[in-house]
């Protein structure tokens, strides 16, 4: 009980200087003594009380900027080592910094430490689901959501909470022991397949890939996408494991990437890594880590988890691994992604360091079973992608049609991504095998179309090379099975050829006009500025995009594939 007395003394010392927290919201400076109490003294006392190596105890007053809710967390290392994910016990200060709550709480960030945060509704549903799972009734464990905690996510994420009594060590000891017992029960239930809060793992039957099943699983979540869009994403990844989703903010780019990746992953936490790109990224360190300059035998792993994902993928070549890079163009992509672009082109491994210690090799290959999906929003706050980057990817543009918005408004549904989790994991090995397969173009019509577009693009020095031909051939090989031949070629033009176009009115008007004519049905003639009628075109999606680019370059004097 001596530890509890010391813990309570530490909390009272913090309460006595509560004004430092309020002032820190302006200055970010917290009293040194208070910071030491929360980050070292109290965590050490809690660790001594636990006397168990299975727990990790951390405290925080914020990194760089003071947090609105200082905390001290108790994490079972078999469940989680980060407050960003998993379930853990945590002391949380009240909004006036004069009280503290003991809670069983949950991380609110998608695995991959720079991943997107969960929504309030999903956090609340998780709390309810875990309470039902534990099924514990004790007056100490409050569930009404009324804890006076400034950070709303901590408040919503509290599965149970208890106001900690700093004046009664005996009561504190009972409360802490109760929470530790609840936490232990959670771990036991977590390891029981029928009670796990993760998607149940199916016995892998290694079925052939069915795009129809993938589409059904994704649409069952409540997300609104056209079947063609999902097919394009699947075939693009099989053709080249690097796809860029471009377009309107809030149009569902990241959600589609997450749903697709998790649908094909047996172990989502191990196989899916989501990274939000920082505007200040100027080198590869956030993705690949770096050698410790002070310790020659130490390599600092990246917090993003990207290097760890690559190492896992190399060990399991038959499973797909997904790297989702959210808002790639918040920073200049070549600054932080150059090693990946080079590895895609050359097939050579990425050099990490000159030493080899622990689990980090000197160099690492970019595995063929790693599928990279990047999202970009186009506005005045972002950087343009260079042709070098676009040439290495399939670019899928997101636009919301009036009928899609009407459907969303009339049939708005709750989104349940978990319905797609691991739904098609038994088809994942076939997905990987298809992505690795060797394919040659063998259709004369496709050859004719590619040569026609090559000739026109060459006039503005935007012609494509052998790699592009190979990637289009692979895409058409897969897409021809589900899309008709013209639709497959249409989307290939849209994703691989048109993204290369950018420039002035003088440069682009002639070539856009020529490409427009190539998209018309045989025997049709039509001015590029005429009313767009879909049935006039053999390749209507490409023609509509060409017309938009034409109108933009005429109006503004400059245009590119990406539209704000």
Q: What is the pLDDT of residue 231?
A: 95
- Position of tokens 């704000």? 564
Report residue 129 CA to chain centroid gap. Answer: 24
As a dihedral over the C-alpha atoms of residue 157, residue 158, residue 163, residue 164, rounded to 10 degrees, the angle is: -100
Q: What is the pLDDT of residue 441?
A: 64
Q: What is the pLDDT of residue 380?
A: 60
Q: How far apart are the first and last CA of the chain?
A: 62
pLDDT for 188-229, tens place per residue?
887 654 444 444 444 455 789 999 999 999 999 888 888 999
Q: What is the pLDDT of residue 64?
A: 64
Top pLDDT among 235 and 385 is at: 235
Strands (E), 175-255: 242-247
Average pLDDT of the segment spanning 524-528: 91
Q: For residue 285, what pLDDT band results from cuts at 50, 70 and 90?
A: very high
Q: What is the pLDDT of residue 281?
A: 94
* DSSP H helices in 264-358: 268-271, 285-288, 306-315, 333-346
Average pLDDT of the segment spanning 474-488: 87
Give 146's contacts (C-beta < 8 A, 6+ positions apart): none
* Burial grade of 246 (CB within 10 A; 0-12, 13-18, 19 or more): buried
- Average pLDDT of the chain? 88
Q: What is the pLDDT of residue 314?
A: 94
- Position of tokens 């040569």? 451
* Burial grade of 564 (CB within 10 A; 0-12, 13-18, 19 or more): exposed
Ordered by where they begin, the domains of the chain are 2-195 (3.30.920), 211-436 (3.40.50.300), 444-560 (no CATH)
Residue 362: pLDDT above 80?
A: yes
| Least confident among 22-31, 35-44, 541-550 | 22-31
Q: Which of 113, 116, 117 is nearest to 308 (CA)?
A: 113
| Least confident among 78-92, 320-334, 439-453 | 439-453
Strands (E), 25-130: 55-60, 71-76, 87-93, 100-106
pLDDT for 311-361, tens place per residue?
999 999 999 999 999 999 889 999 999 999 999 988 899 999 998 766 799
Determine if residue 349 is left, alpha or beta; phi over 0 gives left, psi from -120 to 50 gives alpha, anything else beta. Answer: beta
Average pLDDT of the segment spanning 72-89: 90
Q: Which of 267, 335, 349, 348 is nearest to 307 (CA)?
A: 349
Instruction: Determine what percent of the chain is predicted with pLDDT higher than 90.
Output: 60
pLDDT for 250-270, tens place per residue?
788 999 999 999 999 999 999
Highest mean pLDDT among 14-28, 34-48, 447-461: 34-48
Residue 367: pLDDT above 90?
A: yes
- Residue 427: other Cβ atoms inside 10 A: 22
Residue 462: pLDDT above 90?
A: no
Q: What is the pLDDT of residue 465?
A: 87
Give 426's contacts (C-beta < 8 A, 6+ positions apart): 202, 204, 205, 206, 207
39 is written with which tokens? 């980050």
Strands (E), 207-252: 242-247
Q: For residue 512, what pLDDT band results from cuts at 50, 70 and 90?
A: very high
What is the DSSP annotation of 122-177?
Answer: HHHHHHHHHHHHH----TTSB-SS----SSHHHHHH-SEEEE--TT-HHHHHHHHH
Average pLDDT of the segment spanning 453-462: 85
Q: How far is CA 316 from CA 202, 320, 431, 437, in A?
A: 18, 8, 14, 17
Report the distance separating Cα 488 and Cα 32, nearest Å.
Answer: 64
- Position of tokens 């998607």? 199
Average pLDDT of the segment spanning 267-283: 93
φ, ψ of residue 274 to 5 degrees: the values are -110, 130
Residue 546: pLDDT above 90?
A: yes
Highest mean pLDDT among 65-69, 191-195, 316-320, 435-439: 316-320
Residue 248: pLDDT above 90?
A: no
Q: Which of 421, 80, 417, 113 is nearest to 275 (CA)?
A: 113
Residue 135: pLDDT above 60?
A: yes
φ, ψ of residue 448 to 5 degrees: the values are -65, -45
pLDDT for 103-123, tens place per residue?
999 987 755 434 456 778 778
């Amino acid at each position: 009980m001596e530890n509890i007395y010391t813990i309570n003394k530490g909390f009272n010392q913090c309460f006595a200087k509560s004004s430092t927290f309020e002032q820190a919201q302006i200055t970010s400076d917290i009293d040194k003594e208070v910071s030491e109490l929360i980050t070292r003294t109290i965590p050490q006392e809690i660790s001594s009380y636990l006397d168990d190596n299975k727990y990790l105890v951390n405290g925080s007053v914020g990194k760089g900027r003071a947090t609105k809710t200082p905390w001290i967390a108790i994490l079972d290392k078999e469940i989680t080592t980060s407050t960003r994910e998993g379930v853990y016990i945590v002391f949380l200060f009240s909004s006036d910094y004069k009280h503290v709550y003991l809670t069983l709480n949950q991380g609110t960030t998608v695995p991959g430490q720079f991943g997107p945060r969960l929504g309030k509704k999903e956090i609340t549903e998780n709390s309810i689901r875990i309470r039902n799972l534990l099924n514990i009734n004790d007056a100490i464990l409050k569930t009404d959501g009324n804890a006076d905690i400034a950070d709303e996510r901590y408040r919503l994420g509290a599965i149970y909470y208890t106001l900690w009594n700093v004046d009664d060590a005996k009561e504190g000891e009972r409360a802490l022991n109760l929470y530790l017992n609840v936490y232990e029960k959670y771990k036991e239930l977590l390891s029981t397949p029928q009670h796990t809060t993760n998607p149940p793992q199916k016995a892998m039957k290694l079925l052939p890939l069915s795009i129809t099943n993938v589409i059904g699983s994704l649409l069952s979540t409540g997300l609104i996408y056209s079947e063609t869009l999902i097919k394009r994403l699947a075939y693009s990844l099989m053709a080249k494991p690097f796809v860029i989703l471009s377009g309107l903010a809030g149009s569902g780019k990241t959600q589609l990437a997450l749903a697709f990746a998790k649908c094909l992953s047996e172990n989502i936490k191990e196989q899916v890594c989501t990274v939000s790109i920082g505007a200040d990224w100027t080198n590869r360190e956030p993705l690949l880590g770096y050698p410790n300059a002070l310790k020659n035998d130490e390599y600092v792993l990246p917090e993003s988890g990207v290097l760890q994902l690559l190492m896992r993928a190399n060990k399991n070549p038959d499973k797909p691994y997904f790297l989702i890079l959210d808002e790639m163009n918040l920073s200049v992509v070549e600054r932080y992604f150059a090693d990946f672009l080079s590895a895609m082109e050359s097939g050579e491994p990425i050099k990490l360091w000159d030493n080899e210690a622990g689990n980090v090799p000197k160099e690492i290959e970019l595995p063929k079973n790693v599928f990279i999906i990047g999202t970009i929003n186009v506005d005045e706050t972002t950087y343009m992608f260079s042709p070098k980057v676009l040439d290495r990817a399939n670019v899928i543009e997101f636009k919301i049609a009036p009928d899609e918005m009407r459907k969303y408004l009339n049939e708005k549904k709750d989104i349940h991504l978990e319905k797609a989790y691991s739904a098609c994991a038994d088809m994942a090995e076939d997905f990987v095998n298809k992505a690795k397969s060797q394919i040659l173009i063998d259709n004369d019509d496709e050859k004719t179309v590619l040569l026609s577009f090559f000739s026109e693009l060459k006039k503005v020095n935007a012609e494509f090379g052998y790699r592009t031909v190979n990637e289009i051939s692979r895409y058409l090989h897969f897409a021809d099975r589900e899309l008709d031949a013209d639709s497959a070629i249409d989307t290939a033009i849209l994703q691989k050829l048109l993204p290369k176009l950018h420039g002035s009115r003088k440069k682009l008007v002639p070539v856009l006009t020529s490409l427009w004519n190539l998209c018309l049905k045989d025997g049709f003639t039509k001015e590029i500025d005429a009313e767009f009628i879909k049935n006039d075109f053999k390749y209507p999606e490409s023609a509509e995009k060409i017309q938009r680019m034409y109108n933009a370059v005429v109006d503004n004097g400059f245009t590119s594939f990406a539209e704000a």
